[in-house]
Amino acid sequence: MKMNIKATGIELTPEILSYAEKRLSKVRKYLADASDPVMAVELGRNTNHHKQGEVFRAEVRIAGGGADFYASRETSDLYRAIDEVKDEIVREVTRVKGKRRHLLRHGGRVIKDMMRGFSSRFKFRKKF
């Protein structure tokens, strides 16, 4: 998986870059079946509309190989924003992966029941 990290409104230091790469690289194991996805990460600071304090933003978009996921978080600490966006994107990826697995297994169960002759699950209506 290719990872592009971009900073807006802040300087992208080597510490921030390595922290983001380390945390977000854990998403790769959930996308093992996708073919060559690209992860675009944007880190920045949103203080233009806030009267006091700093608000940091972390956004992640994963696209490619049939995958399209997006997550974003805003917190007062950049490192916490990175951690929370990682948790959110993992939750979204596993949710979609679970839905696909459930549909595949449900379809297999229906086909097996049809082959065995169990028609109690099926409610066929005759249309006249």
Q: Which domains does the chain have, with CATH numbers?
A: 2-116 (3.30.160.100)
The one-character DSSP state at 70 is E
What are the tens digits of pLDDT across the range 58-104?
A: 999 998 767 788 999 999 899 999 999 999 998 988 887 766 666 66
Report the distance separating Cα 101 and Cα 120, nearest Å.
24
What are the φ and ψ backbone dihedral angles of 13, each rounded to 5 degrees? -80, 160
Q: Is the dihedral of CA 18, 16, 43, 94 positive or negative?
A: positive
Nearest C-alpha neighbor of 93 from the set 30, 4, 3:
30
What are the tens digits of pLDDT across the range 31-52?
A: 766 677 889 999 998 766 655 6
Q: How far apart are the first and last CA of the chain?
A: 54
